[in-house]
Amino acid sequence: MKPIGPLMWEHRLIEQALSAAGPEIERIRERREVNPVFVDVIVDFIRTYADRTHHGKEEEILFRDLAKKPLAAEHKRIMDELVAEHVMSRQTVGRLVEAKERFLQGADTRAEIAAGLTTLAEFYPKHIEKEDKHFFFPCMDYFSPAEQAVMLEAFWAFDRTMIHEKYGRVVETLTGRKAILPK
């Protein structure tokens, strides 16, 4: 299996999760109701799964290793765009969280919450298509089969640490102390 296989599987799960945003956006716009729990769940999914787990593998492994290769100008341009899009997603999620917090304090931020959810729901399919159809496959040509096998193993190792990282943060929040994580 090529290392892009797990990344593309992750894309399918991200698409499924964000498909839930449409009905929530409609509820906010039509009924003027916000479900803060939905916002918390989608934010946790995007931050933990889409950004830290998925984008983490891309940025900390795939893109890092690609940066060591003599990339064609087109591939370098797309990689730079993808990194900028990851940053934009993080900023959008941050604004969504702030809008939800202000909503809970009594401010009318329904339009901001709907806009943040809409931005994410519209962004990810385009971002995923760019990676799946225009970037991942050509980039595998820069790596030998042995390098691809090492990268795939690095992806699996990265995933194994994620549960500890996530819940280490939970412990730190609960206790106010740095969590001791397995090596």
**Residue spans per domain, the chain:** 4-144
| Torsion on CA atoms 27, 28, 33, 35, rounded to nearest 10 | 90
pLDDT at 70 over 70: yes
Q: Provide the residue type at 92 as one letter.
A: T
Tokens of 121: 């729901």
Cα(97)–Cα(94) distance, integer angstroms: 5
pLDDT at 141 over 80: yes
May I ask the CATH class of domain 4-144? mainly alpha
Average predicted confidence (pLDDT) for the chain: 95
Do 57 and 136 touch, CB atoms closer than 8 A?
no
Mean pLDDT of 151-167: 91
**If pLDDT is split at 50, 70 and 90, which confidence band does 183 have?**
low
Cα(25)–Cα(30) distance, integer angstroms: 9
- CB-based contacts of 75: which residues, under 8 Å, 6+ apart? 66, 135, 138, 139, 142
* Tens-place pLDDT, residues 19-58: 999 999 999 999 999 999 999 999 999 999 999 999 999 9
Q: What is the pLDDT of residue 65?
A: 98
Do 179 and 161 touch, CB atoms closer than 8 A?
no
pLDDT at 168 over 90: no
CA atoms within 13 A on the CB side of 75: 17
Cα(57)–Cα(151) distance, integer angstroms: 10
15 C-beta neighbours (distance < 10 Å), count? 12
Do 66 and 142 touch, CB atoms closer than 8 A?
yes
* Tens-place pLDDT, residues 82-103: 999 999 999 999 999 999 999 9
pTM for the complete prediction? 0.91
